[in-house]
Amino acid sequence: MKKTVKASGLVVPTAEKAFGEVVELIQSARQRVVRAANAEVVELYWRIGQYLHRRVEADGWAKGTVEQLAAYIAQREPGRRGFSAQNLWRMRQFFQAYPPGSKLSTLLREIPWSSHLHIISRTQGEDEREFYLRLAAQQRWQVREVARQIDSGLFERALLDPPKVSTALREMEGHTGQHFKDAYLLDFLALPEPHTEAELHRSLLMNLGRFLTELGRDFCYIASEYPVQVGGQDFSLDLLFFHRGLNCLVAIELKVTAFEPEHLGKLNFYLEALDRDVKKPHENPAIGLLLCASKDSEVVEYALRRSLSPALVAQYRTHLPDKQMLAKKLHEFYLLSEVGAESPVKSKKPKT
């Protein structure tokens, strides 16, 4: 039974309906305060880093002087944390990573200092820093997620293995492919090896929040085993989501085996059914994601080339990839890029 609140003889709706909006206002204001405070902290640390950089370059400040500065701050600002000598040097490193006029300066205030520490200390080069900074700001990652994505080599994987998408998906407006990955890291599932599709499905639902984080900020969960009726037959779609940015339904089919071309037939069937019977008039055509245990990129390319549906094939990983192996592959990729840029004719590497 729904409870009511009596005030001055009047019967008011439930507390949630009557007072919920006020709580939402309080929570919204608190979030704005936190964001504003974070922006000020990041700005302060950047300015301190700028000051230290000038004094190191102009006056030869070294380790001993910065330690004296840290002690002075502790004496003048008792109880203030975060101004140790080690952190002061990190502030200088922060300034050096994003000097005045940096194209990324507007993004710096959008993520917390702890996330910045992971990015500037655990990435190699400006391109990688920019990659994680932009994603952390766009996806609103918590610091643990920033660390996890860096550990997973997301930058290397995105550069070396861009998503394999169908021609129809590539031609959709809004840079559709950038919202998907070639491989999704599901290390939080703790699945046995081998595992069944039912175990994968069940574990994803039990860890839905973390799965949504891995998919991306604009993905919204709709249903599991979504019923699809065509003719006199009943079918069941593994997972159905909605993507706010793309304004479309996203159907996900799970496979605990290697990708096979015939898998796309069932996915295309579901997309047709969603577009005919579920999609609203203002929404874009549904997109299909086939999530497999493994895949041969060349087989995927052949299978998607003639596909008329906006679909893609990705694989899921249940453990972190070898970062050293990824770094080696990335180094080789850069070397090949340099050779290709110098040569007027790019030779095609033979298949092995």
**Residues 167 and 303 both lie in one domain:** yes
Question: Are 119 and 181 in the same domain?
Answer: no
Residue 86: inside a domain = yes
Q: Is residue 264 part of a domain?
A: yes
How many domains are contained in the chain?
2
109 and 213: one domain? no
The two structure tokens encoding residue 215? 């998919």
Domain boundary among 137, 156, 175: 156
Residues 140 and 225 in one domain: no
| Predicted local confidence at residue 6, as pLDDT | 52
Q: Domain containing 168 — which CATH number?
A: 3.40.1350.10
Q: Which pLDDT value is given to residue 339? A: 54
- The pLDDT assigned to 308 comes to 82
Residues 125 and 54 in one domain: yes
Give the model's pLDDT for residue 124. 85
**Does a structural domain hold residue 110?**
yes
Last residue of a domain, one of 96, 122, 156: 156
Q: Is residue 335 part of a domain?
A: no
Q: Are residues 219 and 123 in the same domain?
A: no
Residues 258, 175 share a domain: yes
The span from the CA of 106 to the CA of 93, in Å, is: 18
> 311 in a domain, yes or no?
yes
Domain end (from 124, 156, 188): 156
Task: Answer whether residue 257 is part of any domain.
Answer: yes
Regarding whether 246 and 207 lie in a shared domain, the answer is yes
Q: Are residues 307 and 189 in the same domain?
A: yes
How high is the pLDDT of residue 1?
Answer: 45
Q: Can you give the pTM of this predicted structure? A: 0.75
Whether residue 330 is contained in a domain is answered as no
- The per-residue pLDDT string of the chain (352 residues; one tens digit each, 9 = 90 and over) reads 445 545 444 444 566 677 888 888 898 898 888 888 889 999 999 999 999 999 999 999 999 999 999 999 999 988 888 899 999 999 999 999 999 988 888 889 999 999 999 999 999 888 899 999 999 998 999 999 999 999 888 998 888 888 888 888 887 766 677 889 999 999 999 898 899 999 999 999 999 999 999 999 899 999 999 999 998 899 999 999 999 999 999 999 999 999 999 999 999 999 999 999 999 999 999 999 999 999 998 999 899 988 888 999 999 998 877 777 777 777 666 666 555 555 444 444 433 3
Q: Is residue 337 assigned to a domain?
A: no
Q: What is the pLDDT at residue 322?
A: 74
216 and 304 housed in the same domain: yes
Do residues 52 and 184 both lie within one domain? no
Range of the domain at 280: 162-321
Do both 147 and 184 map to the same domain?
no
